[in-house]
Structure 1
């Protein structure tokens, strides 16, 4: 796949950047376990402020990993698995491409060994 503006690779990049932070990964874990939570309830489970949680949730939202919906005065966040699924498929495809390339290198190297004997 090529990296086109707004393409799949850009989405994958955004997900990987968002997941690079351990606090954001922990937020995703908490949301996955709870199903839905507010920034306040999430902050109670983390060693960071509510404002920091909101900033992390904003990054996760921009990457398509969570969504927030207003219920009264609260914003409740939930996990959106589609972006993570797309990223997992892209990484699996990339791994398969590398496996094929490495298998080709191995065949060429082994053929070279046979020729030198």
Structure 2
């Protein structure tokens, strides 16, 4: 997590459903032009661009110019931070639920 700039925080970037949908769309294609992404949302090009900027600042999206067109692609590496965070709490809850299960089994005996 980047505490200096909340826009660069991966957790903040994926908190919005529109941005999660953009990530999913980009994960299913090598690259997608901005106009094709915009067609998939009930909002204007500027709004989609703002969401892409947040994803870009978090390192989740890369872009490149091809003539007058901007194409976007996913950079999934920053999602590792989320996977690690979820993994930690998954282990935490698994071990606690295992202890609870043992306790309940002991009480039954």
**TM-score interval, normalised by the smaller of the two chains:** 0.7 to 0.9
Structure 2, unmatched stretches of 5+, are none
- In the superposition, relative to structure 1, how do residues 4 and 102 fare at CA in structure 2: closer, same or farther (>3 Å)? farther
Structure 1, unmatched stretches of 5+, are none
- In the superposition, relative to structure 1, how do residues 85 and 100 fare at CA in structure 2: closer, same or farther (>3 Å)? same
Q: Which residue of 2 aligns with 1:16?
A: 11
Counting matched residue pairs gives: 107
How many Å apart are 1:104 and its aligned residue?
A: 4.4
RMSD: 2.9
Q: Which runs of 4+ in 1 moved over 3 A?
A: 3-6, 101-111
Larger proportion of helix: 1
Normalising by the residue count of structure 2, what TM-score does the alignment of the two structures yield? 0.75
Residues of 2 paired with 1:5 and 1:42: CA distance? 30
Normalising by the residue count of structure 1, what TM-score does the alignment of the two structures yield? 0.71
**Structure 2 matches for 1:38-49, cutoff 5 A?**
38-49=33-44
